[in-house]
Amino acid sequence: MIKLMLLALFATTSLCDETIEFAVVIYRHGDRTPVNPYPTDPWKNESLWPVNFGQLTNIGKKRHYQLGQWFRKRYSHLISKQYNPQEIYVRSTDVDRTLMSAQANLAGMYPPNGTSVWNPDLMWQPIPVHTVPEHDDNILAMKKSCPAYDKEHLKYTHSVEYLNKLHKYDELMHYLSSNTGTKIKSFADILDIYSTLYIEELNNFTLPQWTRSVYPEKMREPAGYSFKTETATPLLARLKVGPLMKIIVTSIQEVISNKTTGKSKKHKKLLIYSAHDLTIGNILNSLDMYDGKCPAFTSTILIELIHDDYTQDYYIRILYRNSTEIIEPSILNIPCCGAKCPFERFKTIYDNLISVKWDYECRQSQFVAILVMSFIVGMGLFATIYMTHKVLFMHWSKEIDPEVEQYDRFVNTHFVTLKVSMDCSFNRDQV
């Protein structure tokens, strides 16, 4: 805690010779009800809750409103007091609770004043929150279909490394399965139960007796692991978080080139992304900064571009606040670079993420799959033609049977060799 305060102090005092030129914030939505309670849950009746399952609660709205007020304070030098559409861009995943969180957050950040008061009886103003349907969103929801990712993910979840880690929790998963009435077989399944219990506890619902031996201590660590599986390998991280990091780095690049060339060209000052715990976890883990703790409601990542007024250099600073309370965030250590990382260095360190050509790379394995598929279909066609041919041939002259058999054997071996060579090329592509 003292360390944290010191860091915060450092951040504020060092502002004298440093300016924040640009910032990106990514936050999780506010408090919600459980998304999907487990079958034996005594609190699974939706009417026991103030809002339906998976919806943002009044506390969640309030917390985001407060977080918005905090952003206003932190970035008072960066963004105007009046809402200026050219300064900020807000994007949310297409889910009720994230769309609503973003709106509540902006209500706290931009209370109308002066000319922006449009209704004296309502100290609120509308600010657009853009979104993309989840199945089309590879940036924030990270749910757009990517065959290459799916293949790599399947490979990872069948790897010895992953299975060994998972097997450590066999006993726990067995215990949870028998008590919750649903099969618990992955870290994500453990997280689901963990979050449900967490929310129930938060809302003063008494947890059943069986939870005492496992919740929260024994479940905390494996629940936290679930935020690592989606970005566990460099390729997984590249395809999952690459598109967002690419946008962020491109935007930063634009700010720097506008500043250094002295162009008055307008660029955004603040990008705001409203998303989920998994988004936060995926980003932190891809940046090699994840501490294994589940991201709390309203937890926030701040990526800031800092201009050192003395040396004229540009640095990246990443901060993280993992708390439902609006406390000062802590500065994260960028691996091999530290708390204040020169932008060029930052780009090199995370090149694996930034250099992704998402559409092209995602289709790669699909391309191989299409090749294999067309090959199999082709062989199938060939086989049928051959079979009909053989039947007809046999019909006409039974005497040359041995020759037919020879032909048959030839085709079989031919087929096998072709298939083998195909498998090899398949493997090569996989690497």
Partner 1 sequence: MEYDNDDNSWRRPSTTQQNKCHRIPKRSTTTAVVVLGLAVLSCLLGYCVLSETLPYESKTLRLVIILFRHGARTPVSTYRSDPYRNYQWPDGYGSLTNVGKMQLYELGKKYRSYYANYVPEDYYEKNVYVQSSDKSRCMMSAYTFLAGLFPPSQRQTWHAELPWQPIPVHSLPRLLDNIVAGTKPCAKWKAMYAEQLAEKNSDPKFNEVFENLSKYTNQTVRSVIDVDYLYSTLATEQEAGLKLPEWTKNLFPHKMRLPFMLSLALLSYNESMQRLQIGPMLNEIRENMNNTFNPSSGSERLLLMYSGHDVTVVALWRALGFGELLEPEYGASLVLELHEDIEQNLFFVKAFYRNNTKTEMPMELKLPFCEDPCSYKQFYDHISNLIPDDWETECENNVQGA
Query: Which residues contribute to the site for partner 1 (CB under 8 A)?
Result: 50, 52, 55-56, 58-59, 61-62, 65, 84-86, 94, 96, 99-101, 103-104, 107, 115-119, 121-133, 136
Minimal distance, residue 97 CB to partner 1, in Å: 8
Which residues, 6 or more positions from 18, have their beta carbon under 8 angstroms from its beta carbon? 306, 307, 308, 309
Residue closer to partner 1 by CB (options 125, 352) is 125
d(CA 264, CA 326): 35
Number of H helices, E strands in the chain: 14, 8
Q: Give catalytic residues, as residue numbers.
A: 29, 277
Backbone φ and ψ of 113, nearest 5°: -150, 150
d(CA 76, CA 73): 5
Sign of the torsion angle spanned by Cα atoms 410, 412, 417, 421: positive
d(CA 214, CA 225): 16
Residue closer to partner 1 by CB (options 82, 257) is 82
Residue closer to partner 1 by CB (options 118, 367) is 118
Residue closer to partner 1 by CB (options 131, 299) is 131
Minimal distance, residue 101 CB to partner 1, in Å: 8
238, 356 Cβ separation under 8 angstroms: yes
Residue closer to partner 1 by CB (options 80, 406) is 80
Facing residues of 379 across strands? none
226, 186 Cβ separation under 8 angstroms: yes
Rg over alpha carbons for the chain, rounded to the nearest Å, is 28
Residue closer to partner 1 by CB (options 46, 429) is 46
Minimal distance, residue 61 CB to partner 1, in Å: 4
Residue closer to partner 1 by CB (options 97, 238) is 97
d(CA 128, CA 102): 9
336, 363 Cβ separation under 8 angstroms: no
Minimal distance, residue 280 CB to partner 1, in Å: 20
Q: Which of 270, 269, 243, 253 is nearest to 360 (CA)?
A: 243
24, 302 Cβ separation under 8 angstroms: yes
Minimal distance, residue 244 CB to partner 1, in Å: 15
Pairing verdict, β 130-132 and 314-321:
unpaired
Minimal distance, residue 120 CB to partner 1, in Å: 10
Length of the chain: 431
Minimal distance, residue 100 CB to partner 1, in Å: 4
3-state secondary structure of 295: coil
Which residues, 6 or more positions from 223, have their beta carbon under 8 angstroms from its beta carbon? 187, 190, 191, 194, 195, 294
Sign of the torsion angle spanned by Cα atoms 64, 69, 73, 77: positive
Residue closer to partner 1 by CB (options 130, 168) is 130
Residue 187 host element (H or E): helix 187-202
Minimal distance, residue 110 CB to partner 1, in Å: 12
